[in-house]
Amino acid sequence: MWHDAGTIVIGPGWENLARTGNKLQAKVLADQCGVPVLRAMDQPTGNVDEARAFATQVGFPVMIKAVDGGGGRGIRLVREEQELDSGIQRAISESPSSTVFVEKAAVHGFHHIEIQVIGDGTGQVRHLWERDCSVQRRFQKVVEYAPALMQDRDLIGRVIDSALRMASEIRYRSLGTFEFLVNEQRGEFYFLEINPRLQVEHTITESISGIDLVQTQLLLSEGYALSDLGLGVNTRASPPANCFSLQLRLCAEDPSNNFALSIGKVTEFNVPTGNGIRVDSNVTTSGNNPLVVGSSFDNLLAKIIVTASSWEGTVRKAQRVLHDSRISGVKTNINLLRGVVAHADFMAGKVDTQWLGSKLNEVLEIGERLSKEIRNKEGLSGSSPQLPIAQGSMPASSMLFRKGDAWSITLEPLSKTGSQQTEKIAHHLRLSRVLRNEFPSSLAAEIEYTTPSSQTAVPYRMQFETTSTAASALVSSSHRRGDPKNPRHVVLPLSGKLIEILVVEGEDVAENQVLAFVKQMKMELEVRSPRAGKIQWVYEMEDEEEDVAEGMLLVELEDEPGRAKGVEVRGKL
């Protein structure tokens, strides 16, 4: 599609985006085309009272959705009234426009089904069948597969027809994903939203259709028609025979710790490939630019796409790929993935949008047992800090160094030899500029150094390449490290960006009260107090959003007898 400025727009164009880019506008389009929709507010709002009033009217459970969210951002499932205000406020904070709407939730027995649609802007549209993306946690997809395993292909055909009807109505151009909730037992479905772009999970559609979607998108942007690309005749509702594909999202996160982001440098990455196995990744572990996982970007390390002629064959192949994969340097969700593909429900296709949440402990137990068997077979200790299957200690990059961090270093001779002094000698270091931080493997910085013989700071450049220091034992010198065994300490259980502290010194807090919010990529996590008490000390933020490391002391409570419970972290999207 040519723009007035002489550039080519790769994508639907502004006319399509005006009808599809906003969730509420897309629901209006669905309603106009006779496609079932869940009851929702007519207009977006940033007013908590308005959202609360509608939620009370339609009854719980409800979904709070940012009108301009995506990838799970700005979505809250609210099952009870006491969760409502918090859910609305967090969804508003994650919305670029600070507006949300409330929608009646459909949560029992529903599959998340996506229809891949292609259009050339003339009203001619076709589909490339469906994907089932029901294996989710917090509305973020973990495993996707195509085609759906539902027996009722007539129901799937009706969903496909609905997507095509909407796409044809607006003369859709380029690639688009039309998303629905589908309940096979009830024989009903509801339109969710349109993603007017290439999806992360487009790979499995490519696998079952044999069509390069990236190339197709580029050709459509140059003005080719569907018929020019051999895509002019629409397909039947039944997918290609003897072809199944699934995608596993390998992410740098710790499922056993509330899916906390794992920050660090990937030191080993080995995912096998072969017939029917595709690995999309930009991870490098050697050279000058090894991949470092930070808190600002998505933590997806790789997409593992497995394809075979039967569903059972596809799952068995996925199990083998995960069995042979080795990742070090950061914690990953490989245990979760191993548990998913080994679970009987997954093999049987009995997974809906609530399945992973309800079976999470069981899935993780299966995955951890399988990983332990791998370690035992390879003669590795379960407590080794260098496990090649991403079960190691906290990565080094959680060390946060900033300009102004300072240390006093005291040198004291162990014995007196000759004229050597026996008194302690104090030196002082202050960071003036951090050049490279890959601590503990390497660190380069400009420092101000004060010696015992001079009180004037002298500038130096400091650099080292190796160290045996355990990064998990330290945080930035400008932070206090907490003691998880100290009942007075509320210790930050994860790394990320500290975006808000809700309490002050001298304030009384209740058990389970929200103390702060930490952001990891597009997710905001609540840090809650493990017990009631009065705040004696609280960390003072210097910036609006501040990088923080796992283990930092967030709050110190006054003395109180009794045993502390673990700090609770709740993550919502």
Identify the active-site residue in 76, 137, 197, 249. 197
Contact 54, 41 (CB under 8 A): yes
Contact 103, 208 (CB under 8 A): no
**Lookup: tokens for 354:** 């609530």
The separation between CA 71 and the C-alpha centre of its own chain, rounded to angstroms, equals: 9
The reply to whether 73 belongs to the active site is: no
Task: Determine the number of helices (DSSP H) and then strands (DSSP E) in the chain.
Answer: 11, 30
Query: CB 378: neighbour CB atoms within 10 A?
Result: 11
The CA angle 174-176-180, to the nearest 5 degrees, is: 160
Measure the CA–CA gap between 305 and 401, rounded to whole angstroms: 38
Query: CB 65: neighbour CB atoms within 10 A?
Result: 25
Which element (helix H / strand E) includes 444? strand 442-450
Measure the CA–CA gap between 430 and 504, rounded to whole angstroms: 29
- Specify the residue for token string 């600070």: 98
In three-state form (DSSP H/G/I as H, E/B as E, the rest C), the secondary structure along 199-215 is CCCHHHHHHHHCCCHHH
Which element (helix H / strand E) includes 280? strand 277-281
Contact 266, 399 (CB under 8 A): no
Measure the CA–CA gap between 532 and 539, rounded to whole angstroms: 18
Question: Closest Cα partner for 390 from 458, 484, 302?
Answer: 302
End-to-end CA distance of the chain: 35
In three-state form (DSSP H/G/I as H, E/B as E, the rest C), the secondary structure along 123-161 is CCEEEEEEEEEEEEECCEEEEEEECCCCCCHHHHHHHHH
Amino acid at 30: A
DSSP string for residues in 190-258: EEEEEE-S--TTHHHHHHHH---HHHHHHHHHTT--TGGGT--SPPPSSPPTT-EEEEEEEESEEGGGT
Residues serving a catalytic function are 197
